[in-house]
Structure 1
Amino acid sequence: MSETPICSAKGCRADAVWVLAWNNPKVHTPERRKTWLACEEHREHLAQFLGVRGFLKDVVGFEDWEAREDS
């Protein structure tokens, strides 16, 4: 990736180090994964937001996610 990934939290401009994979079962097929990026500071907040709604499927380090996508 040529650009540094940025955290998805509102107003945050920190580098993302986590990928939160999620889906909304009312909208997406079960295998579909949308992603939010998170810095260390916002990982728990974003995961909790998605988790309360039953949307959170996985939390993976950004580098590990990129390696998955490349294989």
Structure 2
Amino acid sequence: MTFPLPDSSPATAQCSAKGCRTDAAWVLAWNNPKLHTPERRKTWLACEEHREHLSQFLGVRGFLKDVVPLAEWESAEH
């Protein structure tokens, strides 16, 4: 199952890390089970530098569901 990215395209997809304006290379699909239905996926975008940090942040909370290269996520949308 794929879900749309938040207002992004290859030219505008930027990392979701605070203050980072680097082009995103990864999609981190996540879900807060206390707020979202099991099939719902929210997305954060990550550059190479912030992928691990953002993944750990979500993972520690049990929210992280999948990490996918941005190109694969976009091609799966079509």
Question: Is the TM-score greater than 0.5?
Answer: yes
Equivalent-residue separation in structure 1 for 2:10 and 2:31 (angstroms): 26
Deviation at 1:4, TM superposition (A): 2.4
Moved over 4 A (4+): none
Q: Aligned in 2, Cα 1:2/1:16: closer, same or farther, shift over 3 Å?
A: closer
Per the alignment, residue 38 of structure 2 pairs with: 30
Calculate the TM-score normalised by the size of structure 2: 0.86
CA positional deviation for 1:68:
1.0
1:21-60 equivalence runs, <5 A: 21-60=29-68
1:68 aligns with 2:70: no
Please report the RMSD computed on the Cα atoms of aligned residues, expressed in angstroms: 1.0
Length-normalised TM-score, structure 1: 0.94
The percentage of counterpart residues that share the same residue type is 77
User: CA 1:2–1:37 in structure 2 vs 1: closer, same or farther (change >3 Å)?
Assistant: closer
Q: Which runs of 5+ in 2 are unaligned?
A: 1-8
Aligned length: 70
